[in-house]
Structure 1
């Protein structure tokens, strides 16, 4: 069983390992191997530390902790970074920036628990819904988010990874 709590400095190394391993597992065959191979836990940890210590930080980071006290998942969320839109009336949106679970533990409900807590905290901050972006070729992630109440809303954006352009789809959920 896992519990979810706020991420702190002591979690950075474990979260970076989860994120790098998660990228390599989730995006194998989608993102170029050269890009995935260049990811390092050390570089990711340095970036996480900078983000955690940024004085104007508006994002939140949560970790899933197992019975042994080890971090096994991570979610980062905050205000929506893209243009605001509404379904029927104007409300502010949150955004799930990233969610990763240790690849050997996917399918055990950890991601769902992290997402549920992120949604609860976004609602408490006054957000009326949430958006997130998923690579178009990552059908497994799309299915996970659809089971969690998200729907693709037809918005797309392109990202370039080692000169390969990949399309992301925006998903939304109203609280």
Structure 2
């Protein structure tokens, strides 16, 4: 790890707050043309994901990881077993059909602060999350990525992921549906 960079397991309120902010900034910059503006304005607040990260930590459902450059959080993600069923992070309407992927690991969320992209931080965090999943005995992993998010798709491809032809449709207000493509690789 380069000097001044530190990986931190998300386990404190300040970590959950930092991760939620990075997620919100990521949504606002990445999904502005893909998600209805009224949903974005009402739902994608700086603190929207704090209770979910707190609950994930308490329940052990998945783990959060933050990368800091000195005192500045620059990148974060969550990882764990493949999700199956309703997703309270979006709405009760969202359900992930992971049949056939039950024993897989999943990169559940992955965001770099918009001001910190292109500096290699995402690669450091991704490699660490994959290392940890392997350490948990996971042999295969997937990540869901918005079809229109070409930058993220290229990032995952550089890290050995490839689209396996499956996807999840994520409903939003006004009948809008976003399509998340499932990218897979060996852990």
Q: What's the TM-score once normalised by structure 2's chain length?
A: 0.83
Residues 15-164 of structure 1: matches in 2 within 5 Å?
15-38=19-42, 39-54=44-59, 57-67=60-70, 69-81=71-83, 82-85=98-101, 92-163=103-174, 164=176
Contact map agreement 1:135 1:168 (CA 8 A) in 2: yes
Unaligned stretches of 5+ residues in structure 2: 84-97
Distance in 2 between the 1:63 and 1:98 partners?
12
Matched residue SS, 2:75? strand
RMSD across aligned positions (CA): 1.6
Contact map agreement 1:32 1:162 (CA 8 A) in 2: yes
Distance in 2 between the 1:141 and 1:15 partners?
18
Matched residue SS, 1:42? coil
Distance in 1 between the 2:52 and 2:61 partners?
16
Matched residue SS, 1:48? helix
Q: What's the TM-score once normalised by structure 1's chain length?
A: 0.89
What's 2:11 paired with?
8
What's 1:88 paired with?
none
Contact map agreement 1:92 1:126 (CA 8 A) in 2: no
